[in-house]
Amino acid sequence: MEHRRPFKLMALSLIFMGVATLAWASAIAAQTANTETKPAVTAPAASQADGDYVGMETCITCHEDQHKRFKNTVMGKIMEHPRTDLEKRGCEACHGPGKAHVEAGGGKETIPVRFGKDSKNSVAEQNAACLDCHSKGNRLFWKGSQHDSRAIACVDCHQVKQELHPALSSEGRYSSPLTENRGLKKSQPELCLQCHQMRKAQLQRSSHMPYREGKVTCTSCHNPHGSPNPKQLLQSTTNENCLSCHTERRGPFLWEHPPVMENCANCHDPHGTSNPQLLKVRMPRVCDSCHVATRHPTQAQPLGSIKNFNRGCTNCHSAIHGSNHPSGDKFLR
């Protein structure tokens, strides 16, 4: 591994990205001349001529109830004071132009874009309607992400016009940190656990982070909308993710334990275990599985051994995450 080459790569990459972005911006500006461009997967809504739009007032004449609910949502509030041409379209910004629907006197089949399981639109078409506005922020890496590539629709998790009414048992069983996001179909972690059902079991383990207590939740570490990082993590690596809270273990230390610095998940399972300290295997075996040196690391250790009970190996090697003590080469200090 060369120490300097990556930073040359980084500089070249940044220059490339900058030039590409500028070039692309210029091209877009020239092409669109203040008009909205089409998304990569074009929703029917955007493929229609402007004359096909009937305006929100027309929609409200029949759909007053939906409008009442919608106008109290964040999207509804923003569309009261639209900033873009798309936002000015109100209902038709998401559902597409309503002319055909109006002329037919209503009917679900004449709505260009509908959402949910009974929609005729593909998942890509439905998502494209959302991404018309929501392609920035933490959705930047949505395209090609884990959930996108497995045909997950935005509306599988989100809802716009409904209030969240969890079952009473859900209130009792799940707890999540305070959030402003009121557009989810269920609160976290219950929402994620619908598909990731194995995690539901893991969160019940005796050794766990405070998920059940509503202090940490799935999106504390993961971005379900896609990230360029492994496991859709918010940070670049597993360790950067863990060390964003457990900063004391970040180092650099004088004496480092390489598997610790490389991946916390070598020894710990963050989703919960039955062993102390979220360990995948309890001590001393978690250490024994790597350390086949001489003397005590290779003794099988009877039950009544100081290297077994209580804190196991860390009864003595307590600085196992790294030591900055000049005498800490064996992680005793």
Partner 1 sequence: MKTIKQLAAFTVFAILCFPAGLFAQEEKAPEHGTIDFGLRFAAGDVDGRPDLLSGQCLGCGSPFDPSLKTSKYNEYRDIRNGFFIRRLDFKFENVLGSKNNYMTLQSQKSLFKDQSYLATYGSYGKFKIQFRYDEIPHTYSNTARTLFTETSPGVWRFPDLIRKTLQSPTTSAANLPSVINTQVVTDFNFITPAILRRAGSLLFSYNPTAEWSLTASFWRESEKGNRPIGLIMNSSPSASASSGYGVELPEPINYFNNRLQFGAEYGRQSWAFQAGYFGSFFQNNVGTLTWDNPFRLTLESAGNPLTGRMDLYPDNQAHYLNFAAGADVGKYVRVTGSVTPGWLRQNDLFLPYSTNTALLTCGDGTQACTSIAALPVARLEGNKQTLAMNFSGVTTMWKKVQAKASYRHYDYNNNTPVHSFTPAEGDSAAPALDPITLLPVTTENTPFGYNRKNLELSGSWYFSKRSAFKLGYEKEWMDRVHRDAEHSVDNSIFTAVDFSPNKDLLFRLSYRHSDRKPEVYLDDVSLEISGGIPVDSPLARRFDQAARLEHRADGLVQYNFTDKLTASAFAGTLQDDYNRAGESNSATPLNFLTGAAATTNPYYLYGLLKDISYNYGVNLDYALSTQVTLFAEYSREQYHKRMISRYRGPESTTLTANPNGCGTSSNGLLYQGPCDSPNNDWESTANERVDILAAGADAHFGKKTYLTAYYTLSAAKGNVNSAALGTQPANFLTSPTPVDPTPLALADRFMLTTTNAAVDYPETVNRSHEFTVMFRYKLTDRLTPKFEYRYQQWDYKDYQTSAMTQYMGCVATTGVPAVLVPQTPSVSATVAPGCPSVGPTAASSISSPYYPYFVVGDPSAARYLFLGVDQPSYKAHYVSFTLEYRF
Site string for partner 1, 191-210 (x = CB under 8 A): ----x-xx-xxx-xxx---x
Burial class (CB in 10 A: 0-12, 13-18, 19+), 313: buried
- Beta partners for residue 268, in sequence order: 279
Q: Closer to partner 1 at the Cβ: 177 or 183?
A: 177
Q: Closer to partner 1 at the Cβ: 49 or 303?
A: 303
As a whole number of angstroms, the distance between CA 52 and CA 48 comes to 7
Task: Give the interface segment with partner 1, choosing from 61-69, 90-98, 107-115, 310-318 (CB under 8 A).
Answer: 310-318
As a whole number of angstroms, the distance between CA 9 and CA 3 comes to 11
- Beta partners for residue 273, in sequence order: 207
Number of residues that bind partner 1 (CB under 8 A): 142
Residue choice 58, 110, 220, 266 for contact with partner 1 (CB under 8 A): 266
CB of 91 closer than 8 Å to CB of 56:
yes
Residues 43-72 touching partner 1, rule: CB under 8 A, are none
As a whole number of angstroms, the distance between CA 112 and CA 97 comes to 7
Q: Closer to partner 1 at the Cβ: 62 or 164?
A: 164
Min separation Cβ 195 and partner 1, Å: 6
Q: Does 177 bind partner 1 (CB under 8 A)?
A: yes
As a whole number of angstroms, the distance between CA 221 and CA 232 comes to 8
Residues 18-47 touching partner 1, rule: CB under 8 A, are 20-21, 24-25, 28, 36-42
Residues 283-302 touching partner 1, rule: CB under 8 A, are 283, 285, 288-296, 298-300, 302
10 Å Cβ neighbour count for 185? 15
Which amino acid, 219? T
Min separation Cβ 184 and partner 1, Å: 15
Residues 219-258 touching partner 1, rule: CB under 8 A, are 228-229, 236-237, 240, 243-245, 247-256, 258
Secondary structure (3-state) at 162? coil
Q: Closer to partner 1 at the Cβ: 95 or 148?
A: 148
Residues 71-130 touching partner 1, rule: CB under 8 A, are 74, 77-78, 80-81, 83-84, 86-87, 117-118, 122-124
Residue 146 CB partners (closer than 8 Å, separation 6+): 226, 232
As a whole number of angstroms, the distance between CA 332 and CA 317 comes to 5
